[in-house]
Amino acid sequence: MITVNGLDEIKALAGRDLGRSDWLEITQDRVNTFADATGDHQWIHVDVQRAKDGPFGGTIAHGYLTLSLVIPLFTELLQITGTTMSVNYGLERVRFPNPVRVGSKIRLAATVAEVTEVAGNGVQMVLDFIVEIDGQAKPACVARPVYRHYA
C-alpha cells in the first residue's frame, strides 16, 4: 500500500503505477445481495440453474457490482492522509469487456493518469482502473474515475 500525506504528495503521484490489490472471489451470495439492493434480478445473475444453459455457462456478476468493488479494492492500494475531504467526482468512462463468472476472482490494477489543481484548495486525481479476472487475458472492467481531494 502507498500512503501519501497532503496535496503536494498527491500531486507527486501523477503517472505512478499503484500496483494491484489482492484477489477477491465473486460469490453467488454477493451477486444475490447486489441484486436485492438494486432490484436487478435478471436470470443471468441470480438463476443458477437457468444460467448453466445460458450464454456464459453459469451466473455472472452485474457489471455495476464489479464497478462498485473497485472502492474496497482501491483502499488496498492507496491511503491518503492530511486532507479535510475527498469526493468521488465521477467517471470519464467505464466499460465491461468480459463478464465475471460467479466463482471467479478479480483484482484491481490502478495507475494515476493525472493530477491537477482545482478551485477551493484541492486537486483532481484521474486514475486508470483495470479490473482483472484471474486466469483471463481480457479484463472485467476498465474505468477512468475522477476523485477530488481538498486540504
Say what the pLDDT of residue 22 is: 98
Question: Cβ atoms within 10 A of the Cβ of 84, count?
Answer: 9
Q: Output the average pLDDT for the chain.
A: 98
DSSP 59: -
Residue from 112, 133, 115 nearest 123 by CA: 115
| 30: containing domain | 2-150
| Cα separation, 1 vs 20, whole angstroms | 9
Would you say 150 and 120 are in contact if contact means Cβ atoms under 8 Å apart?
yes
Say what the pLDDT of residue 2 is: 97
pLDDT tens-digit series, residues 98-114: 999 999 999 999 999 99
Average pLDDT (16-45) is 98
Say what the pLDDT of residue 106 is: 98
Q: What is the CATH number of the domain that holds 55?
A: 3.10.129.10
Confidence of residue 73 (pLDDT cuts 50, 70, 90): very high
Average pLDDT (19-37) is 98
Planar angle of CA 95, 96, 100, nearest 5 degrees: 160
Number of domains in the chain: 1
Say what the pLDDT of residue 96 is: 98
Average pLDDT (38-65) is 98
| Cα separation, 65 vs 87, whole angstroms | 20
Residue from 100, 33, 21, 5 nearest 60 by CA: 100
